[in-house]
């Protein structure tokens, strides 16, 4: 599906060591689609900066983390709208029953994060942002059931979903995880997990920091197990980070709402993160006419590589008239 072309930007964190950062500092890389780093920060203690090796994300890592309660990690914190986010040190987060501690390997920067930063989505603050993660299982919370531990053994590769279903509420029990009552009542409304508490506390002051989903722009994060799925070895960490947000949103639209079938005509209005995923999924489902509509020529150009058979700049052309022409062989 050309997934490697999907991600436009992601923040990838590469640790110098597989151990928590009380032993060695880590570096942060903002990468482009090629995985080439063009920004890094946060290196301290005069440590040597490792060069970014994109092939690392393809390696199947063996878990060798030694999590101790005295450890700490770093993560990105949003304080208040339109103020720069900062990188802070946290106490090592501890998972509770049914939760998993993840060593974050990659985390996308979603437009929802930007909405929070701009104050366009009201959210409890300070909070750790980032909700499109891939990573490696480090630890299970005490009293976690055996099935969950067997499903996500320590060391397994996982991808997280931004909606982290509780698995128990009215909607979850009916398979409508996307409407999970606890997720919206606790995480989206209060910035906590489902016992009403955050798992994030600043290292020095102990100040609680709320969680936007799992607070994935951090070296480690705690995720309810229902919000995780195994990431196949064939999929790299970095490009797969958006599977649990932009891609599954697009999948829902194409598979369930639109119910795209082979031979269908599909018009996608807006080809950003979700829209460009829609194009690829429509192509994978066998749609014949795949029409991308946007107001930016650059995005429309890229849309062709994602499977668009026609593109419309709606600033220049009437999209309805053009779509009718593009699908003229199709009887409405
Ligand atoms: Zn997102
Ligand atoms: Zn639920």
Which three-class secondary structure string do you get for 21-84? Answer: CCCCCEEEEEECCCCCEEEEECCCCCCCCCCCCHHHHHCCCCCCCCCCCCCEEEEEEECCCCCC
- Which ligand has the shortest distance to the CA of 166? 2
Instruction: Measure 237 CA to ligand 2 centroid, in angstroms.
Output: 27
Q: What is the pLDDT of residue 71?
A: 85
Instruction: Measure 222 CA to ligand 2 centroid, in angstroms.
Output: 17
Asked if 285 and 254 touch (Cβ cutoff 8 Å), the reply is yes
Question: Per the structure, how many domains does the chain have?
Answer: 2
Q: Are residues 220 and 322 in the same domain?
A: no
- Which ligand has the shortest distance to the CA of 247? 1
Q: Are residues 318 and 195 in the same domain?
A: no
Q: What is the pLDDT of residue 309?
A: 96
Q: What is the pLDDT of residue 82?
A: 87
Instruction: Measure 7 CA to ligand 2 centroid, in angstroms.
Output: 29
Q: Which domain holds residue 123?
A: 3-244
Q: Which of 244, 268, 297 is the last residue of a domain?
A: 244
Q: Are residues 212 and 299 in the same domain?
A: no
Rounded CA-CA distance 159/244 in Å is 7
Helix, strand, or coil (residue 114):
helix
Instruction: Measure 168 CA to ligand 2 centroid, in angstroms.
Output: 5
Q: Which of 244, 275, 307 is the last residue of a domain?
A: 244
Domain membership flag for residue 125: yes
- Which ligand has the shortest distance to the CA of 178? 2
Instruction: Measure 155 CA to ligand 1 centroid, in angstroms.
Output: 25
Domain membership flag for residue 293: yes
Domain membership flag for residue 90: yes
Rounded CA-CA distance 199/9 in Å is 27
From the list 106, 31, 21, 34, the residue with the least C-alpha distance to 65 is 21
CATH code at position 214: 3.90.180.10
Q: Which of 244, 279, 296 is the last residue of a domain?
A: 244
- Which ligand has the shortest distance to the CA of 172? 2
Instruction: Measure 135 CA to ligand 2 centroid, in angstroms.
Output: 23
Domain membership flag for residue 331: no
Asked if 288 and 263 touch (Cβ cutoff 8 Å), the reply is yes
Domain membership flag for residue 219: yes
- Which ligand has the shortest distance to the CA of 226? 2
Instruction: Measure 170 CA to ligand 2 centroid, in angstroms.
Output: 7
Q: Are residues 299 and 184 in the same domain?
A: no
Q: What is the pLDDT of residue 33?
A: 33
Instruction: Measure 280 CA to ligand 1 centroid, in angstroms.
Output: 18
Instruction: Measure 194 CA to ligand 2 centroid, in angstroms.
Output: 10
Instruction: Measure 258 CA to ligand 1 centroid, in angstroms.
Output: 21
Instruction: Measure 179 CA to ligand 2 centroid, in angstroms.
Output: 7
Instruction: Measure 330 CA to ligand 1 centroid, in angstroms.
Output: 35
- Which ligand has the shortest distance to the CA of 162? 1
Q: Are residues 235 and 264 in the same domain?
A: no
Rounded CA-CA distance 1/299 in Å is 18
Q: Are residues 289 and 182 in the same domain?
A: no
Instruction: Measure 39 CA to ligand 2 centroid, in angstroms.
Output: 38
- Which ligand has the shortest distance to the CA of 164? 2
Domain membership flag for residue 62: yes
Domain membership flag for residue 332: no
Q: Which two tokens stand for residue 64?
A: 């060798």
Q: Are residues 207 and 293 in the same domain?
A: no
Instruction: Measure 39 CA to ligand 1 centroid, in angstroms.
Output: 21
Instruction: Measure 74 CA to ligand 1 centroid, in angstroms.
Output: 21
Q: Are residues 147 and 192 in the same domain?
A: yes
CATH code at position 273: 3.40.50.720
Rounded CA-CA distance 98/278 in Å is 32
Q: Are residues 280 and 322 in the same domain?
A: yes
From the list 61, 161, 150, the residue with the least C-alpha distance to 108 is 161
Q: Are residues 191 and 271 in the same domain?
A: no
What are the 10-residue block averages of pLDDT along the chain, 332 residues in total? 35 32 32 32 30 37 48 95 94 97 96 94 96 97 97 98 96 94 97 98 97 98 98 97 95 96 96 96 97 97 97 96 84 50
Q: What is the pLDDT of residue 290?
A: 97
Domain membership flag for residue 224: yes
Q: Are residues 172 and 31 in the same domain?
A: yes
- Which ligand has the shortest distance to the CA of 176? 2
Q: Are residues 220 and 319 in the same domain?
A: no
Rounded CA-CA distance 133/161 in Å is 8
- Which ligand has the shortest distance to the CA of 175? 2
């Amino acid at each position: 599906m050309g997934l490697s072309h999907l991600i436009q930007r992601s923040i990838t964190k590469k640790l110098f060591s597989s151990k928590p950062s009380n032993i060695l500092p880590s570096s942060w890389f903002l990468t482009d689609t090629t995985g080439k780093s063009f920004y890094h920060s946060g290196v301290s203690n005069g440590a040597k900066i490792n060069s970014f090796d994109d092939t690392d994300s393809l390696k199947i890592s063996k878990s060798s983390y030694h999590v101790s309660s005295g450890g700490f990690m770093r993560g990105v914190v949003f304080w208040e709208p339109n103020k720069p986010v900062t990188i802070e040190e946290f106490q090592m987060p501890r998972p509770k029953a049914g939760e998993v501690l993840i060593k974050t390997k990659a985390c996308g920067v979603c437009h929802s994060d930007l909405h929070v930063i701009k104050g366009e989505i009201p959210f409890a603050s300070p909070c750790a942002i980032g909700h499109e993660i891939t990573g490696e299982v480090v630890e299970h919370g005490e009293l976690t059931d055996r099935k969950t531990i067997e499903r996500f053994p320590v060391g397994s590769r996982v991808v997280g979903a931004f909606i982290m279903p509780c698995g128990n509420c009215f909607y979850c029990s009916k398979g409508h995880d996307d409407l999970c009552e606890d997720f919206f009542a606790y995480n989206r409304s209060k910035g906590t997990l489902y016992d009403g508490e955050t798992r994030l506390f600043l290292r020095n002051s102990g100040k609680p920091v709320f969680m936007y989903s799992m607070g994935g722009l951090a070296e480690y994060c705690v995720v309810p197990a229902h919000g995780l799925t195994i990431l196949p070895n064939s999929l790299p960490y970095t490009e797969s980070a958006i599977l649990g947000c932009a891609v599954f949103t697009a999948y829902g639209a194409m598979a369930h709402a639109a119910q795209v079938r082979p031979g269908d005509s599909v018009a996608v209005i807006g080809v950003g993160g979700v829209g460009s995923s829609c194009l690829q999924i429509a192509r994978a489902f066998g749609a014949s006419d795949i029409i991308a509509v946007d107001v930016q020529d650059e995005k429309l150009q890229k849309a062709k590589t994602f499977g668009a058979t026609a593109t419309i700049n709606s600033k220049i052309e009437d999209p309805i008239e053009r779509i009718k022409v593009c699908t003229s062989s199709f009887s409405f």
